[in-house]
Structures are given as structure tokens and as C-alpha cells.
Amino acid sequence: GAGVETTVNLIGNGIAALLAHPEQLALLRDDPDLWPSAVEEILRYDSPVQMTARTARCDTVVAGIPVRKGAVIVLLLGGANRDPQVFDRPNEFDITRPNSRDHLAFASGIHVCLGAALARIEGATALRELFTRYPGLHLAAPAEPRGLVNLHGYRRLPTHLHRDTVATRRAS
């Protein structure tokens, strides 16, 4: 279902993003209070839900383009989350981004995801605990994206869980 699959993808996307940006993971290790901000940036940077569709209830104009009642409108949430008019350096992953919570990963308005608060808590808790318990966590093999247009996540994200860091293992 929507609540499980999207949260699983949030966690997987978070693991992938943090492993690909070790400087951001280092910030989290230095300041664990940044975890909620990190989850917002993960949701902005690689939202599990990339698109949604709506049906126009009346004739209207959107950004100068006429839209007829009954027309299906596809909203590219992932594209909106990278809008340079909203986000400075939108293609960079930055857990200290001051407006990362302005993303549309959970939609907005009357269509906002009812599970958004729970997903945020689950994502922050799971990622924090995973990287705290296994500071040496690293990819064991290349990740395999699902390859879906509307739902971003991984078919496989093989990792090695180590309680010590990679640097500690190399030193011994």
C-alpha cells in the first residue's frame, strides 16, 4: 500500500543519498538533531512519489495555459522539488537547506498525504538508528533502481552492516 511502499522507498532513497554524500552523513554524525532536516531533504531530493494526476473540476488557466473541465493534469512532483525558483542549488543534496520542507513529496492542500507526519518520524528514526548502530554501513554492490517513472526507489540496495567504521577496519 501507499503508506508502506513509500516509506520503504524513503528509507532506501535516504540510505543511497547519504552514502553518495558522505559529507552530509558526517554532519549527521556530528549533530544528530539534523535528522528531521535530513529527512526533509531526502524527500525533496529523491521523493518516493514523483508524479500524481488530478482532474480539472472547472475550466481554468494554469501558468497561462487554458485547462478545460475534465482534463487530466499530471503533476511532476519530483520536478517541482528541483525548481530553481524555489530551491537554491536544487540539484545538490544539502541537509542544512533552510527551505527543504517546502517540497511536494506529500502533495499539498486538501490532497496532502494523511500519513506525512508518520512517514517523517519513521524515516528519521529508521535512518538515524541504522547509521548509528552500523557506522560502517556501505554498499555491497551497485544499487538497482526500480526503473519506475512515478515511484522512485530501489529493487535492490545491497549493503554491508558493520558496527565499526570503514576507517577503523582498515586501520586494524
Quick check: is 63 in a domain?
no
Q: Would 54 be classed as within a structural domain?
A: no
Does residue 69 lie in a domain region? no
101: which 3 cell numbers? Answer: 520542507
Residue 103's nearest CA partner among 35, 159, 53, 46 is 46
What confidence category does residue 28 fall into, taking pLDDT thresholds of 50, 70 and 90? very high
Please give the pLDDT value at position 111: 86
Q: How confident is the model at residue 172 (pLDDT cuts 50, 70, 90)?
A: very low
User: pTM for the full model?
Assistant: 0.90
CA distances from 151 to 7, 52, 110, 118, 148 (A): 11, 10, 21, 19, 6
- Does residue 141 lie in a domain region? yes
Q: Please report whether residue 90 resides in a domain.
A: yes
Task: Give the mean model confidence (pLDDT) for residues 47-56.
Answer: 94
- Domain range enclosing 144: 2-48+79-171
How many domains does the structure of the chain reveal?
1
Identify which has the larger pLDDT, 164 or 82. Answer: 82
Residue 166 has pLDDT above 70, yes or no: no
Q: What is the CATH number of the domain that holds 12?
A: 1.10.630.10
* DSSP tag of 79: H
**pLDDT confidence tier of residue 56, bands split at 50, 70 and 90:** very high
Say which residue, 170 or 64, is predicted with more confidence.
64
Q: For residue 163, name the pLDDT band (cuts at 50, 70, 90).
A: confident
Position 5 scores a pLDDT of 87
pLDDT above 60: residue 168: no
Q: Does residue 145 belong to any structural domain of this protein?
A: yes
Q: pLDDT, tens digit, for every residue of 77-101?
A: 999 999 999 999 999 999 999 999 9
Asked whether residue 157 is domain-assigned, the answer is yes
Residue 60 lies in a domain: no
Q: Which has the closest alpha carbon to 87: 78, 76, 73, 98?
A: 98
